[in-house]
A and B are shown apart, each in its own frame.
Chain A
Amino acid sequence: AQSVTQPDIHITVSEGASLELRCNYSYGATPYLFWYVQSPGQGLQLLLKYFSGDTLVQGIKGFEAEFKRSQSSFNLRKPSVHWSDAAEYFCAFQDSGAGSYQLTFGKGTKLSVIP
Chain B
Amino acid sequence: EAQVTQNPRYLITVTGKKLTVTCSQNMNHEYMSWYRQDPGLGLRQIYYSMNVEVTDKGDVPEGYKVSRKEKRNFPLILESPSPNQTSLYFCASSLFGARETQYFGPGTRLLVL
Whether B101 pairs with A46 at a CB distance below 8 angstroms is yes
Whether B44 pairs with A102 at a CB distance below 8 angstroms is no
Which of B42, B56, B58, B106 contacts A108 (CB under 8 A)?
B42
Whether B104 pairs with A105 at a CB distance below 8 angstroms is no
Q: Is A32 an interface residue (CB 8 A)?
A: yes
Cβ proximity bits A1-24 to B, threshold 8 Å, 1 near / 0 not: 000001001000000000000000
Number of interface residues of A (CB under 8 A): 22
Whether A104 pairs with B59 at a CB distance below 8 angstroms is yes
Whether A43 pairs with B44 at a CB distance below 8 angstroms is no
Q: Is A114 an interface residue (CB 8 A)?
A: no
Whether B102 pairs with A94 at a CB distance below 8 angstroms is no
A61 to chain B, nearest CB (A): 15
Whether A103 pairs with B104 at a CB distance below 8 angstroms is no
Query: CA of A105 to CA of B97 in the docked complex: distance in angstroms?
Result: 15
Q: Is A82 an interface residue (CB 8 A)?
A: no
Whether A32 touches B99, Cβ cut-off 8 Å, given contacts A103-B33, A107-B40, A107-B42, is yes
Q: Is B50 an interface residue (CB 8 A)?
A: yes
Residue on B nearest A108 in the bound complex, by CB: B42
Whether A102 pairs with B59 at a CB distance below 8 angstroms is yes
Which residues of the other chain, B, contact A100 by a CB distance below 8 angstroms?
A: 98
Which residues of the other chain, B, contact A103 by a CB distance below 8 angstroms?
A: 33, 45, 98, 102
Query: CA of A107 to CA of B56 in the docked complex: distance in angstroms?
Result: 23
Whether A44 touches B98, Cβ cut-off 8 Å, given contacts A103-B33, A104-B59, A105-B42, is no
Whether A94 touches B90, Cβ cut-off 8 Å, given contacts A45-B104, A101-B31, A102-B59, is no
B residues apposed to A, CB below 8 Å? 4, 31, 33, 35, 40-45, 48, 50, 56, 58-59, 90, 92, 97-99, 101-102, 104-107
A residues apposed to B, CB below 8 Å? 6, 9, 32, 36, 42-46, 49, 51, 90, 94, 100-108
Give 8 A-B contacts (CB < 8 Å), ordered by A residue: A9-B40, A36-B102, A43-B90, A44-B43, A49-B101, A90-B42, A94-B98, A105-B45
